[in-house]
Chains A and B, each alone.
Chain A
Amino acid sequence: EAGVAQSPRYKIIEKRQSVAFWCNPISGHATLYWYQQILGQGPKLLIQFQNNGVVDDSQLPKDRFSAERLKGVDSTLKIQPAKLEDSAVYLCASSTRVSGRSYEQYFGPGTRLTVT
């Protein structure tokens, strides 16, 4: 079974530029998550999709971040314009269940973003 795919693995941009990350979840997983992991911290949920609908985007900085999941499969996360504090690893994860207390999330390798 193929895992969660993400691209690119690394990205360096200047502040005020835009950037996009792509994620392809495990086949059949209805739920997709984007996390931001700042160095030395645990992952923080940015947005959660169920199929192509948003379940939770309460921690997404909507003035600069946007995400979509067309056709309920792969997803893109965009930052426009980027700030220095956006430097982090962006993790995508997927799971089979929408809710419930014991579901396992499967993570991709992440995209390391450096904003200079």
Chain B
Amino acid sequence: GDSVTQMEGPVTLSEEAFLTINCTYTATGYPSLFWYVQYPGEGLQLLLKATKADDKGSNKGFEATYRKETTSFHLEKGSVQVSDSAVYFCALSGGYTGGFKTIFGAGTRLFVKA
């Protein structure tokens, strides 16, 4: 079935450091890919998305490119802030073997130190 694998956390960075959180997926068909973020005490919220190969999603300084050849959707940010501390979830939807439901990765917790 469809699946999403993301790097284990926690990831601890100093403010203004470069961030990469790796995400790879397994799916048939042409799924859409998402990054959701969960701040402490809050629900998940969509950070960015990409709907087809080579699309780049971007929001709030975060970027991710849909790479079909490597089945990846890595999240990057050039300079993190303390306020970026949260749990980040990679997800896909629209895969045939997933029944078109949204499949989430396990999440990666990010801590940013001042």
Q: Which residue of the partner chain, among B30, B41, B51, B102, contacts A45 with CB atoms under 8 Å?
A: B102
CB atoms of B89 and A42 under 8 A apart: yes
| B102 CB contacts on chain A under 8 angstroms | 45, 105
Main DSSP-derived SS at the B contact region: loop
CB atoms of A108 and B32 under 8 A apart: no
Main DSSP-derived SS at the A contact region: loop
The interface stretch among B14-22, B71-79, B92-100 is B92-100
Q: Which residue of the partner chain, among B43, B44, B94, contacts A100 with CB atoms under 8 Å?
A: B94
CB atoms of A43 and B104 under 8 A apart: yes
Q: Which residue of the partner chain, among B42, B44, B51, B93, contacts A43 with CB atoms under 8 Å?
A: B44
B106 contacts the other chain (CB 8 A): yes
What total count of A-B pairs have CB within 8 Å? Answer: 57
**What is the interface residue range for chain B against chain A?**
20 to 34
Q: Which of A12-47 contact B (CB under 8 A)?
A: 40-45
Least distance between B97 CB and chain A CB atoms (Å): 13
A50 contacts the other chain (CB 8 A): no
Complex Cα gap A103–B46 (Å): 10
Knowing A42-B4, A56-B101, A108-B43 touch, does A101 contact B31 (C-beta < 8 A)? yes
Chain B residue at minimal CB-CB distance from A101: B94
CB atoms of B46 and A58 under 8 A apart: no
Least distance between B51 CB and chain A CB atoms (Å): 4
Q: Which of B5-56 contact A (CB under 8 A)?
A: 30-32, 36, 41-46, 49, 51
Complex Cα gap A110–B38 (Å): 11
A87 contacts the other chain (CB 8 A): no
Chain B residue at minimal CB-CB distance from A92: B43
